[in-house]
Amino acid sequence: MIKLKLAPIAAATFLVLNACNTGTNDASKEEAIGNEAPGQPVETREQDAGYEPAFSGQMRAPGVTTTASYEVRVLTDQLSKPWGITTLPDGRFLITEKEGNMRIVSQEGQVSDKITGLPEVDAKGQGGLLGLTLDPEFASNKTVYWAFTEKRDKGNLTSVAKGMLSADDTRIEKATVIYRATPAYDGDKHFGGRVIFDKEGNLYLTTGERSDKETRPQSQDLNSGLGVCRIKL
């Protein structure tokens, strides 16, 4: 596992369907950042004097504007605290609910029963069953990866597990924890929980900074599991 010095962001509330047209990015992102301002800074409040930016402009990232067309429609309101969502090969959505459930929702909004076989989660505060993603070879191996808050002797932490979705889509088989963002901490906030693969097959995970003053600096400490991690599978 390789630790990266980045800041984690992860959240989900409502299930919607989006359709958009995407364009190509500028080949030179560094040049674009240095010479162009696509919008006014999103954050305009006075900077917190207790935290110095790592580089000029870190606290004043410009907003992004787009002319892409899109459609938004509510598929269902029958989920309980939905958190993570990923699209299955057939167009259905695999979704996590904070309290520890995983479900499948169809394009028409039909919600499946709870998928069984998941490890227990610590759902207090902001914890619970968090983000998820499919293995790049999901079509052949049916493997799903997900992040969740796990109880430990000295508190809790963000963990990543993997398992195989059964042929009938009703259970996760061979669920195994593959990474724990140590050290554990007795708290209930800022667990991160976003998981995503890059083009090289590495799994990226955000693990938060656990909110409290004593843990925040660890998100930039390469000896801590807090922050953003790259897991080489």
Domain ranges of the chain: 2-15+76-231, 24-67
CATH topology assigned to domain 2-15+76-231 = Neuraminidase (2.120.10)
Catalytic position from the list 98, 103, 162, 190:
190
Report, as ranges of residue numbers, the positions in the chain whose pLDDT lies below 50.
5-14, 16-36
Structure tokens at 8: 């984690």
C-beta contacts of 78-82 below 8 A and 24+ residues apart: 78/111, 79/15, 79/103, 79/105, 79/111, 81/128, 82/12, 82/13, 82/14, 82/15
Helix (H, G, I), strand (E, B) or coil at 136: coil
Model pTM score = 0.78
**Is 190 among the residues known to form the active site?**
yes
pLDDT value, residue 199: 96
pLDDT tens track for 170-215: 999 999 999 999 999 999 999 999 999 999 999 999 999 999 999 9
pLDDT value, residue 62: 81
pLDDT value, residue 13: 36
pLDDT value, residue 1: 60
pLDDT value, residue 4: 57
pLDDT value, residue 91: 98
